[in-house]
């Protein structure tokens, strides 16, 4: 299915995450951020929408997904939108060995029962919705430059307080920079950086 947003045009097959309110919230923040020359990691790139938007704003982007189909589609979408982006299929930071000024992650944040997790393992954040986020936050500091920042999108369903506790435990200073109410939940974007 096609997805259009401003000057972006993406092709998104049914098995790849179709951009939703969460993607749009992140896009909105990226649009207002000066990304020129910054090294950006788009974790869980899906269709590549955030990676393409960041590259269009002058960032040097590495886009990562655990799903090799997503990586392929994101690569095609980058080319179709005249952007040059590096791609890697990786379980979080497993295949990454460099540091970034900004790591963006529209994380799989919804809890799901075992059946749903088995059907679409890459879409759900585990039984409590926080497994992937917790693993991500445990490793992220090793992949940030000295003043590097994270933009993490979660939902109140993920457990906002619990995620903030993980950030505290892992030594991040954080602030919720954007919120949006949607029918069943509130989306929250958290900006975090390592406490110095
Ligand atoms: C909510 S979607 C976001 C997609 C896209 N960034 C967007 O904003 O529309 C989450 C993405 O994270 C990917 N993902 C899930 N677990 C992952 C992991 N362990 N490592 C890397 N990517 C993962 C999924 O395959 C999916 O594409």
Measured in Å, residue 132 CA sits from the centre of ligand 1 at: 10
Output the domain CATH number for residue 36: 3.40.50.150
Residue 51 alpha carbon, nearest atom of ligand 1: 6
* pLDDT above 90: residue 77: yes
Place of tokens 């309110």: 21
pLDDT tens readout for residues 84-130: 999 999 999 999 999 999 999 999 988 888 787 777 777 788 888 89
The domain in which residue 92 lies consists of: 2-194
**Which has more confidence, 40 or 114?**
40
Place of tokens 């930071």: 93
pLDDT tens readout for residues 174-183: 999 999 999 8
Q: Using alpha carbons only, how large is the chain's radius of gyration in Å? A: 15
Residues 185 and 196: their CA atoms lie apart, in Å, by: 33
Of 1, 116, 94, 8, nearest to 55 by C-alpha is 8
Residues 70 and 78: their CA atoms lie apart, in Å, by: 12
Using CA atoms, how far residue 11 sits from 39, 47, 121, 178, 180, in Å, is 25, 8, 22, 28, 26
Measured in Å, residue 67 CA sits from the centre of ligand 1 at: 8
Q: Whole-model pTM?
A: 0.96
Residues 47 and 3: their CA atoms lie apart, in Å, by: 10
Residues 159 and 111 sit within 8 Å (Cβ to Cβ): no
Residues 95 and 66: their CA atoms lie apart, in Å, by: 10
Percentage of the chain beyond pLDDT 70 is 99
Place of tokens 């029918």: 183
Measured in Å, residue 193 CA sits from the centre of ligand 1 at: 21
Structural domains in the chain (count):
1
CB of 152 shorter than 6 A to ligand 1:
no
pLDDT at 8: 94
């Amino acid at each position: 299915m096609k997805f259009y947003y401003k000057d972006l045009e993406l092709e998104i097959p049914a098995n790849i995450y179709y951009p939703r309110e969460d993607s749009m919230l992140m896009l909105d923040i990226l649009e207002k951020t000066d990304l020129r020359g910054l090294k950006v990691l788009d974790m869980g790139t899906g269709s590549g929408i955030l990676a393409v938007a960041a590259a269009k704003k002058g960032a040097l982007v590495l886009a990562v997904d655990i799903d090799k189909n997503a990586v392929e589609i994101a690569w095609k979408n980058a080319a179709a939108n005249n952007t040059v982006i590096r791609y890697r299929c990786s379980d979080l930071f497993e295949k990454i060995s460099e540091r970034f000024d900004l790591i963006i992650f529209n994380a799989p944040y919804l809890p799901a029962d075992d059946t749903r997790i088995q059907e679409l393992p890459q879409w759900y954040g585990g039984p409590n919705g926080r497994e992937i986020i917790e693993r991500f936050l445990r490793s992220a500091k090793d992949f940030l430059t000295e003043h590097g920042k994270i933009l993490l999108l979660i939902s109140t369903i993920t457990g906002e307080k619990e995620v903030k506790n993980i950030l505290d435990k892992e030594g991040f200073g954080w602030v919720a920079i954007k919120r949006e109410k949607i029918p069943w939940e509130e989306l929250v974007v958290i900006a975090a950086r390592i406490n110095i």
